[in-house]
Structure 1
């Protein structure tokens, strides 16, 4: 290849990666230029030899960044175009926070109809509408603006009460309820159901029982199945099983339909109270009332048996799920995995873990974490390192605290070979941080393993700038400045060729 051809090859710009696009969008201050960059991240040069690029794979961060920039600039037409694109991008599952921001942008611009329209369209984006994004104060701001144009009704107040409850601000919810009464608005079933749910969530079951009586006696509102379900779950949570069973009988008497969730709560409570011999009667009642057990019901049984270390019965329930046409989910397996690991049966847990894909249920991040923790607790470090490698390869992130504990254990027993393997795995997955390096260096220095530490440092040279910086700093803080300086110089030389 000639020098001219080499220069021509170098002059061709590399395609913009998704990570690079996110960085460029974040740095771009001009919303118009940001929009242009978003729409055309990889413009084809006027070159007849250039091959057309594949469609760019946008991710959620790209949409979030450009929508935020356009909304703040009040470029609402352009923002709607991006939202339309997001709606039809099947690879991206939007989060609620994006729509909360859009509604907030419209609210600040006094475009209330657009804000309400966006709220109505959220379900078409397959996003779960909750208030977990914590934008309650913004919602109140929009509510105050709305009051200048229309009179809020009970539905408006119910939304505010719901926001307070899910944000664990129950006292604020009661203030909204009092304001509702001052305006002479009649509370609805949703109003009481939300407040009662909040009380049970805070385990204030006595107040919840009183509220149920007040809604019937004072406000003439009859409770529905959701109200009773909240009560039963709350009573079971505080160990008031007799009262919970009494509420269930009230539902039977009033012919209120019960779902599998209510029965599942009662089954869990029976196991906790040491009354597991009564759960067959619950299952029989479910069958008589035409309520088919679901995965939640079976998982409650599995959990109960695992807590009693009756794993044979738990496996029997797992098999029964398949026979009854109810597919076991990762939770079903994770409960058994956790029970086996806590009981020191890591070998059985590993067998079950490996059998999950064959049963049509792939392990999730919780499955990997449970097995990894169990193997570490059982001092099976080589197996733990293998699971960690597989875990990171599949894109799952281990808990930082457990990783540092695992590395500390390897350092304490002087297992440098496995330590080297684990650190390389963490580097490849880009999940290593300064705390991890500090754990390695401090443990080795404390245990008079300076020679091994030096050898380890010589072996680990990563092209990740952040990782190198953390390692240099960790070495310096650990009174190994000569090693840090030497490693820094070598990494600078190596980076030229990476």
Structure 2
């Protein structure tokens, strides 16, 4: 379990800037190209914040950044600001010098020389979570913000940490962080609750996910289409398609319009249970609701038809997709070819083969064997001509 997040009672750290980096970096001075900017740093002339930024923006490599930062910290006009800290941290992140970032954050905490915004900490947390894979440190920063940096996190930063934990499947920690929202001054919003629903569904805990759905009005929030779609997906994953369809009715009652993703989830769930006819009906229902199907909608129904060996209907749907500038998948064409070969339906096979090539797909060796065997079973000059055209092209 991650460390206990207690702000009070910690001893304050008062380390100088140079000392904080001395343990982590070699004392060897890195080679830095001579420039006017570095000359100004070594000179006694007072430096403006923009001049300091220009000096650091021209540096290459973490050694140069750390060396110049130590040098700048010894000047009488040393006055770092958020822009400088952000620039340095981003430079260190690009070179994957994450230990150096941790050292810098400790120094910033100890020196407390400037006020930092939530955007600054959001950037640091994002680097820790997405680039460094140091989720524990991302959580530390979240809880250190009000205690040591005098900055309260926004709900945007709070939700980013929650989503980070869900993506890492640290579901137990998600609840711990969520319960800390009041201590962090966070007012829960719909996005926050949606992240909880997502995490619970991915963890297979649908009962708790629906409990969160009931929490929306208690938190003065309203569930949106993403809330219901996530729950539907969780239900379909457990084969509870009837409950998922019932949730669609609840959406309509609560005035939440279903989108294409919502219908696609239900169509996919019906297909997995072999209920392709109902999937086709849902496809038509989408259009009546003013929600036009996309290629994923059609593809799920197409797979369902192919799974049930309804090749003629599958060909009609594929024709409709092509008419609407949607290309059936390679697997769809492959199954259609095998299906029509097994049924010795040469005319249909000819159509599939032509359109497969027009969509940019080329039959593989095994498929060619089946096609040739079908052709040789009779005097099929039509498809023989199509094969010749493909080979010659």
TM-score bracket for the superposition, by shorter chain length:
0.5 to 0.7
Partner of residue 260 from structure 2, selected from 330, 338, 351: 330
- The answer as to 2:357 corresponding to 1:443 is no
CA 1:200–1:411 in structure 2 vs 1: closer, same or farther (change >3 Å)? farther
Contact 2:336 2:352 in 1 (8 A): no
User: 1:276-309 deviations in whole A, cap 9, x for unaligned?
Assistant: 2233432333212211111111111211221122
CA 1:171–1:210 in structure 2 vs 1: closer, same or farther (change >3 Å)? farther
Contact 2:346 2:374 in 1 (8 A): no
Gaps of 5+ in 1: 1-142, 146-151, 462-466, 474-498
Contact 2:115 2:150 in 1 (8 A): no
Contact 1:299 1:332 in 2 (8 A): yes
Partner of residue 381 from structure 2, selected from 441, 444, 455: 455
Partner of residue 295 from structure 1, selected from 225, 228, 234: 225
- The answer as to 2:360 corresponding to 1:432 is yes
- The answer as to 2:152 corresponding to 1:222 is yes
Matched residue, 1:197: 126
TM-score by length of 1: 0.53
Contact 1:344 1:374 in 2 (8 A): yes
1:319 to partner: Cα distance = 1.4
Structure 1 residue matching 2:255: 3-state secondary structure: coil
User: 1:325-378 deviations in whole A, cap 9, x for unaligned?
Assistant: 211000110111111112222122111112211122111121112222232233
User: 1:385-435 deviations in whole A, cap 9, x for unaligned?
Assistant: 1111111111112333543454345445544332223234446xx4134x2
1:197 to partner: Cα distance = 3.3
CA 1:416–1:220 in structure 2 vs 1: closer, same or farther (change >3 Å)? farther
Structure 1 residue matching 2:363: 3-state secondary structure: helix
Matched residue, 2:10: none
Structure 1 residue matching 2:181: 3-state secondary structure: helix
Matched residue, 2:248: 318
CA 1:396–1:187 in structure 2 vs 1: closer, same or farther (change >3 Å)? farther
User: 1:23-50 deviations in whole A, cap 9, x for unaligned?
Assistant: xxxxxxxxxxxxxxxxxxxxxxxxxxxx
Matches within 5 A, 1:406-417: 406-411=336-341, 414-417=344-347
TM-score by length of 2: 0.66
1:231 to partner: Cα distance = 1.9
Between Structure 1 and Structure 2, how many residues are aligned? 313
Gaps of 5+ in 2: 1-56, 60-79
1:451 to partner: Cα distance = 5.1
Higher relative contact order (CA 8 A, sep 6+): 2
1:218 to partner: Cα distance = 5.2
CA 1:386–1:144 in structure 2 vs 1: closer, same or farther (change >3 Å)? farther
Query: How far apart, CA to CA, are the structure 1 residues paired with 2:94 and 2:271?
Result: 38
1:271 to partner: Cα distance = 3.1
Structure 1 residue matching 2:180: 3-state secondary structure: helix
